[in-house]
Structure 1
Amino acid sequence: MFNRFRSVDLHLLAVLLIVVMAALPLLTRPGLPRHTDLELHVFRAAEYAGVWRDGVWYPRWAPNFYYGYGYPIFNYYAPFTYALSSAYALIPGVDGVAAMKGVLLTAFALGGFGAYFLARRHFGSQAAVIAAAVLVLSPYFVFIEPFMRGDAAEFLALGLLPWAFLAFDRPRFSIGQPIALALIIFSHNLLALMALGLLIVYVIWRGVLIDGKRRWRGDAVSIGLALALTAILWLPFFAERGAVRLEVAGPGHFDYHNHFVSLAMLLSPSPALDFGATAPKYIYNLGPIQWLLLIPGGIVGVARRKTPAGRVSLFFVVAAQLLIFLITPASEFIWDAVPGAALVQFPWRLLGPAALALAMAAGAAVSGKWLVDGGRSRRADHSSPFTRYLLLVLLFALLMTSLPTLYPPLWDAEFGDTSPRGAIEFELSGVARGTTSTDDFLPVPVGRVPPPNEALLASYASSLIDKLDRSSLPVGSTAQVEAHTAVYDRFRVEATAAFTARVLTFLFPGWRASIDGQEVPIGPEDQSGLMLISVPAGSHVIEIALQLTTPQLIGTLISLGAAVISFMLIVTRPRASAQNEVPASLQPSMSLSFFLSVLLFLVIKIAVIDRCETCFRYTSPPGQVLGAQYHQNAHVGGHVDLLGYDLPVNEVAAGGALPMTLYWRATAPVPENYQVFVHVGVPGVAPVGQSDKLNPGDFPATRWPQDKYVWDDHRVTIKADAPPGEYRLIVGLYTLDDGRRAPVLDETGHVTGDAVVLDMPVYVK
């Protein structure tokens, strides 16, 4: 019995409990959050699964988005998240929402166990548990990414990141290296670029300081094979980049200049959340224990710089410091100088890789006297009472400081309809078209998105969706839909005269049309970008099919060839050696202490803390913002109230930027989506500073509930030639189409103006 007990790695079970604790909202609540990017990913996954069911093994076209006109988002966006969700949806009883939950749970598990095994290789099991906790309980990984941003694709890529480092940790080529890197590339476009850059620096570091430069040949083969495996994605992306709109950088919301995070915020603990908000206000931070452990991690790395483990420690310590620096405004000159840096969009995206670097630094910090030197390993006595208690206290501190992030906002139990018609209804609500906010990946011929076609929408209730616009038929002509799939339509037409058929699908490279089996040209309709086909009089069969373009075919063949090579390498690979790995150290005393400590904390959390509605979170009453720095009420448009604002600083230099937050609340259903402006100036005079946003709080006003408030962050840019002096902040709402401002009303309902002048002055120096 004792031998069986010793054979169980209780450290792994402790990590499992930490992962379960982090993912508990997904395990205990029905549905998934809406009003974040997660709802976009759910609709994409449902669309991807539908194309799969039509027999397309690698979907490139989303046929039901953009009111049913379709567009090629999957030709450009990394597909692994949606493929994995679609695979989970094949399980009986698992719907699209549950399948996406499965993806998020997979990401949690991958991150936790990946960090554990990576840290265990260098620092031992006890340190590996701490490293796993540091990553999984980091605010960005446990809270911001899965629940507040809801970027399922990036979250999955983050979960895979430690496995890529684990694979490239080996000094020689291993088939796990290209597979791990390929999975990250298939998961998220932007994080793949960051991961590839970090891995290249890591293998260079190891080649120079640990393994020798001979390893680089194997690394080059691994990276090359990973690129070949993913050619099916990136080759068409670059070759057909000009066929779609893709405005992912530049002025506005996606300008990286607007998304730096101050060092003070990064080092701050996570605040308690206000559940009185539609989406509780949170901060981009590292976690206090996470960054504090960076200091001893650096000391340990320097002290052991002559050992492989010490040099690995130093890499992650340096990487963490560099990543943290790149998130802060002080690094702006680097972002400005590096070509392509603007594609990252949000510097705080680096919090994900930084969390892994901090996890490894933490593992080094608590590793005692673990050393790995030339294949020989020895370890210190981690079973001493002082060391054991110190590690348990540290684990407890990690768990305690993470509590504010373990309570994401509540969401509705019913997610809603994710069918093709449900996706169109989501678009009709005005939130987003095509599951993007800026019409990314829309074919270039589409100058202006045509309005929904009522006949097309009505056909979604029938057995076959009808993409032929009947208004384009000559008088007395008839048409019948004979077949429809995601990438194919067939119509039988009886035409009384020659005509130009209007097919309700956006034209994109790869679409082919034939009449009675003979290929005919397709043209785009001016502005709408819909297909136009010249049809002669008489009885005809019109067929439209999406075929592979030359770049898509070449990319597919390269990836298939690389997959065959990878399979052959897998079945013929020699048994891997683990001689350089630190022993797992299955000491029952210490591993049992870790396991029981985490289990006890989880039980207390579920039984006590979860039932306390004011522990680590609070709820502002309707019409109030308890956490607002300044309270000021104003009635706007007859259905929106301004409740207050935050103004951390009220002095700014000319050419600088002033951060602030507005708090809004709907007092009645909002009839239209407002835009918001913040001006710095004097009423009636041209402003010297300004900030405009498409949606206040990045949340369409027509969807605002009446029992919660919306927080609306701004970075007000001051003109470089602004005269010094005292100014006021002037805020208001307007409609984008006509620029009309919503009136400001007094308590009796009389109009007093079209903007609210805030009480606190600001000073331009």
Structure 2
Amino acid sequence: MVLAAIPAMLPLLHGKLTSGHDSLFYPPRVVTFEEGLKEGRLLPRWTQEFAGGYGEPYFNFSPPLLYYVTSLFRFAGAGVIDSLNFAVAFLLLLSGFTMYLLAAEIFDRAGGLVAGAAYMYAPYTLTDLYVRAAYAEFSAFATLPLIFWSFYKLAQTRQIRYLIAAACSYALLLLCHNPVSLIFTPFLLLMILLSALRQRSRAVLLSQSAAFVLGLALSAFFWAPSLLEKKYIQIERLLQNALEYQNHFVYFRQLFNSPWGYGISTPGPNDGMSFEIGAFYLAALGVGGLMLLARPLLPNREQRWFVALMLIMAAASIFFMTEASSIAWAYLPPLQYLQFPWRFLVIVAMASSILAAVPSVLTRGRGRFVEWLPVLIIPVIILTSLSKCKPNAVHPYKDDFFKAENIIARKLETSTVLEYRPKWVQNDPPGSAASPLDLTAGSARLEVQQRSQTRYRFQIDARTPSYFRFNVHYFPGWRVEVDGVGRDVEPNNRFGLMEFSVEPGVHDVVARFQNTPIRATAEAVSQLGIVMILILSIYACGEIKARASVLRSED
């Protein structure tokens, strides 16, 4: 699997930032997330460097898993660009391994290798890597097969260790990417329901439901505030103008013939990027369907059930990509936040890659040499995809370009339509934030005693009643205290900046960003989920020891 991944990841190992639709957004995120971790915040919800140094709650709404991975490489000594590239390369390799794990479990090891390679080289995988540079979305790819594997094993064995794996893998998805989580969750619920119906077992339904709920609990610290506090940002910008979902339905023929390109998605059938499923992947879907119909070719009930599930997922995803589903999009508002119906290609890529393993059942039990014949298709998969395994160009920027002070001075943005701006911001200030606190009226002398992303301390010597503008965008959680007494700082200016006043005299002023009740409750739920995982782990260890003891006694 490692050898198969090398051609796809080589452009990520040259120490340069590859071009792509979103590639310039990621280094600033990597830098600010790392700064937050260094300050002791496990989830740096507020990033002061963004919005020209006036700050925005970026990581309160953008899933953090990719940036945890980049931070591991940063703390190991890698540069900003290298850490991003290494993280993406690692996740590419991990996606191949998790797909191998799933397909090998359902079919066999040879089929698992084919499926793993197919997943890494699926057209949409390479689109996310080298056309869109949508690394956050791509980070979810590795979790999808892992979720299905762990929930499948849980249904088969009902062992606690697989309940833990299922809960953790689903939690990881929720920490990867919001749109992919929204797309995938209904299919996971369908799998849970069908597993229980197929086995006619309440125990299967209860165990898988428990894993699902526990996964929600583990990740609640992120998704609950993200969902419940989105009313405080300008999230509606995702539904406006060029980003409206109606502009991005895929024409059915584009799924079969769509030229590869590095442009963008546009209204009509002449997009600058490809939405092809891919000939090999269409063949995999077709072969899977034929073998499902021909029972003698695929007699195993478990395999037939799983093939049917993948075909249902692929068919539903194709439906939701095309204009035929426009009524569903109109009446399901959460779908509209996906922006691009073609995001459902991630499900088609996963399902078709799994089905690429189906033909391996025809060679099983026919001798070691014949059993491994299916892997000969792997070089064909790679060779036919090589032309897509590269970016259109590389950016000239080095790590210094993305230093925290440069992010502020250059007003480097991390989203296309500034949807993470607090709702109180009507206009951006004309320049970057030069100082954290400005005197707007009165006479006073001030000293900055402490300054970090989420905490400031000032000493103010006011000779007259004085008014100050705190050059930070207001957002729930910010609190300003003058001599230990909280002040109302909700902005009354079009820039959304906090303001307060002091009386004559010397004052100690502290401004800090803290949890809201929603965030505190969500974090408590996640902590409870972690406690449950620890308790279940103790039981799982006992379960494993008991099984080992039984095996030894049988020997």
**TM-score with structure 2 length normalisation?**
0.90
Say if 2:437 is the partner of 1:468: yes
Once the two structures are superposed, the pairs formed by residues 421-432 of structure 1 within 5 Å of their partners are: 421-427=405-411
Match of 1:99 in 2: 83
Match of 2:459 among 484, 492, 500: 492
Match of 2:290 among 296, 299, 317: 299
Match of 1:290 in 2: 281
SS in 1 for 2:475: coil
SS in 2 for 1:561: helix
Once the two structures are superposed, the pairs formed by residues 71-90 of structure 1 within 5 Å of their partners are: 71-90=56-75
Say if 2:16 is the partner of 1:31: yes
Matched to 1:411, the amino acid is V
Match of 1:320 among 314, 318, 341: 314
Matched to 1:78, the amino acid is P
Match of 2:248 among 243, 249, 259: 259
SS in 2 for 1:444: coil
Say if 2:322 is the partner of 1:353: no
- Tell me by how many angstroms 1:411 deviates: 0.5
Consecutive unaligned residues in structure 1, runs of 5 or more: 1-14, 275-279, 370-378, 458-465, 579-765
Change (3 A) 1:425 1:514: closer
- Tell me by how many angstroms 1:273 deviates: 7.7
Matched to 1:195, the amino acid is F
Match of 1:521 in 2: 488
Once the two structures are superposed, the pairs formed by residues 141-156 of structure 1 within 5 Å of their partners are: 141=125, 143-156=126-139
Change (3 A) 1:227 1:248: farther
| 1-structure distance, mates of 2:380, 2:238 | 39
| 1-structure distance, mates of 2:181, 2:199 | 25
SS in 2 for 1:70: coil
Once the two structures are superposed, the pairs formed by residues 367-406 of structure 1 within 5 Å of their partners are: 367-368=361-362, 379-381=364-366, 383=368, 391=374, 394-406=377-389
Say if 2:419 is the partner of 1:440: yes
| 2-structure distance, mates of 1:549, 1:67 | 25
Once the two structures are superposed, the pairs formed by residues 206-221 of structure 1 within 5 Å of their partners are: 206-210=195-199, 212-221=201-210
- 1:112-152 CA distances to partner (integer Å, 9 max, x unpaired)? 001111000011011111111211111111x2102211111
Higher Cα Rg, which structure: 1
| 2-structure distance, mates of 1:206, 1:563 | 26
CA contact (8 A) 1:270 1:404 kept: no
CA contact (8 A) 2:130 2:390 kept: no
- 1:156-177 CA distances to partner (integer Å, 9 max, x unpaired)? 0112111111111121252001
| 2-structure distance, mates of 1:347, 1:305 | 36
Match of 2:391 among 408, 411, 436: 408
SS in 2 for 1:56: coil
- Tell me by how many angstroms 1:84 deviates: 2.1
Match of 2:7 among 3, 7, 21: 21
- Tell me by how many angstroms 1:502 deviates: 0.9
Q: Which has the higher strand share?
A: 1
CA contact (8 A) 2:18 2:391 kept: no
| 1-structure distance, mates of 2:501, 2:375 | 75
| 1-structure distance, mates of 2:210, 2:327 | 34
SS in 1 for 2:105: helix
| 2-structure distance, mates of 1:202, 1:392 | 28
- Tell me by how many angstroms 1:212 deviates: 3.5
Match of 1:332 among 284, 309, 326: 326
Say if 2:101 is the partner of 1:117: yes
SS in 2 for 1:441: coil
Match of 2:509 among 527, 539, 542: 542
Q: Percent identity?
A: 24
| 2-structure distance, mates of 1:529, 1:312 | 52
Change (3 A) 1:491 1:525: same
- 1:475-521 CA distances to partner (integer Å, 9 max, x unpaired)? 4x311111101111111111110111111011111111112223333
CA contact (8 A) 1:320 1:354 kept: yes
| 2-structure distance, mates of 1:101, 1:415 | 13
Matched to 2:457, the amino acid is R
Say if 2:180 is the partner of 1:191: yes
- Tell me by how many angstroms 1:380 deviates: 2.5
| 2-structure distance, mates of 1:576, 1:381 | 36
- Tell me by how many angstroms 1:240 deviates: 2.0
| 1-structure distance, mates of 2:379, 2:424 | 58
The higher relative CO (CA closer than 8 Å, separation ≥ 6) is in: 2
| 2-structure distance, mates of 1:53, 1:265 | 46
Match of 1:166 in 2: 149
Matched to 2:418, the amino acid is D
Change (3 A) 1:545 1:388: closer
Change (3 A) 1:311 1:99: same
CA contact (8 A) 2:46 2:58 kept: yes
SS in 2 for 1:411: coil
Equivalenced residue count is 529
- Tell me by how many angstroms 1:340 deviates: 2.4
Change (3 A) 1:74 1:367: same
RMSD between aligned alpha carbons? 2.4
Match of 1:669 in 2: none
Match of 2:551 in 1: none
Matched to 2:348, the amino acid is A
- Tell me by how many angstroms 1:350 deviates: 0.9
| 1-structure distance, mates of 2:441, 2:241 | 44
| 2-structure distance, mates of 1:258, 1:281 | 14
| 1-structure distance, mates of 2:181, 2:389 | 27
Match of 1:45 in 2: 30
CA contact (8 A) 1:270 1:287 kept: no
| 1-structure distance, mates of 2:2, 2:142 | 14
Match of 1:564 in 2: 531
SS in 1 for 2:241: coil
- Tell me by how many angstroms 1:251 deviates: 4.0
- Tell me by how many angstroms 1:451 deviates: 1.4
| 2-structure distance, mates of 1:187, 1:299 | 35
Consecutive unaligned residues in structure 2, runs of 5 or more: 264-270, 548-555
CA contact (8 A) 2:5 2:120 kept: yes
Say if 2:236 is the partner of 1:247: yes
CA contact (8 A) 2:12 2:86 kept: no
Match of 2:553 in 1: none
Matched to 1:439, the amino acid is L
Match of 1:135 in 2: 119
SS in 1 for 2:460: strand
**TM-score with structure 1 length normalisation?**
0.66
Say if 2:409 is the partner of 1:418: no
| 1-structure distance, mates of 2:324, 2:61 | 33
SS in 2 for 1:344: coil
Say if 2:40 is the partner of 1:55: yes
